Amino acid sequence: MKLDDACDLYFQYLRVEKGVSNETIRNYAYDLKQFFIALPKQSTDDMLSTDITDFVTIQMKNQLSVPTILRRISSTMNFYLFLEREHIIDFVVKDFDRPRKMKNLPKIISVEQVEDLLNAPDLSKDEGFRDRTMLELMYCSGLRVSELLSLKVKQINLEKQIIDVIGKGNKQRKVPVGEYALDFVKQYIEEHRIHNPGKKSNYLFLNRYGKPLSRQYFFLQIKKYAKEAGIEEDISPHTLRHCFATHMLENGAELRALQEMLGHANLSTTQIYTNISTKRILDAYDLFTKRK
C-alpha cells in the first residue's frame, strides 16, 4: 500500500472511530512527517520492525528534547500498531531503548513492581480490601492522592464506569475507570464498607472509626506495602499516578486525552512521562476515547 494511502486510512480511523480532533490529527501528521523524513519510505512494504529503533537513534543524535522524542515515538508507534491490526504490515515492532529520564522526572516503578504492590494488602481483612481498592483505583485512573481520599460515594458511577473528579482549583473532570478496578470498588462498598461505623458517610474510603483517611495514613500504608512487596525504591502514593501516565503514553495514548484524564492545565506537564508498558489500564483509556 502506498504510504499516503496508509496515512489517509489511519487518519480516517482516528477521526471517525476514535473521534480525534482535527488539531490532534495535524499534530500526528507532523510527527509522522518527521519520521518519514528521517526514514524515507515509498510504501508499507518498505517498513521494517526496526524502524522506530532507528528513528529514536536519529532523534537522539539530533539532540532533540526528550518530550519531543517521546511524543514522536508515541505518534509513530500508534501508526504502526494500527497497520498491524489492519494486517497491512505483518510484523511486530521490535523493542527499543527509550530516551533516558530527564532530571526531575517523576519516579516510576516497573510493571512487575506495581503488580507486587497491588497484591500486597490482605484481602481477607476489611482494611486490606479497602487499601487494595484504593491502589487499583489510583493506578487505573491516575487520580491525585487528594482526589482519591476526598472521593464521595456519589462521584462513582458504576453503570457508566465514570468518576466525577473535583481537582485542583475545584475544576471538575470525568475520568473513566476500567471494570477491573470497579469490581473492587463495588465489592468494597457492598461487602466491606457496609461493616464500617461510618457506612452512612458521604466519603468513599473510611478508616476503622468511620472517618475519611488522612494523607499521612495512606502514605504510611504505601510504604508498608512497598516493603512487604520487596520494593526498595522510595515510593509514595503519587508514584501510582506517575505509573498510570507513563504506561498510557507508552501504549500509544493520545497526549491530549491523557492530559484531560490527569487534569493537567498544560500539555507540557503530560509530556514528561515515559517508559514501560502494561495492558491493565488500557480499558479505561478505551472508555475515554469512545466518549470523545
Catalytic residue among 2, 125, 168, 208: 168
**CA–CA distance, 113 with 123 (Å, rounded to integer):** 18
Give the phi and the psi of residue 166 in degrees, each rounded to 5: -105, 110
The answer to whether residue 100 is catalytic is no
Find, among 51, 29, 28, the residue nearest to 40 by Cα: 51
| 275 grid coordinates | 517508559
Catalytic residue among 132, 264, 280, 285: 264
Residue 233, helix vs strand vs coil: coil
The answer to whether residue 273 is catalytic is yes
The answer to whether residue 80 is catalytic is no
Catalytic residue among 18, 101, 238, 256: 238
DSSP structure class, residue 196? S
**CA–CA distance, 227 with 219 (Å, rounded to integer):** 13
Catalytic residue among 130, 192, 241, 247: 241
Catalytic residue among 144, 152, 173, 174: 144
The amino acid at 148:
L
Catalytic residue among 28, 80, 188, 273: 273
**CA–CA distance, 161 with 138 (Å, rounded to integer):** 14
The amino acid at 58:
I
The answer to whether residue 132 is catalytic is no
Q: Catalytic amino acids?
A: 144, 168, 238, 241, 264, 273
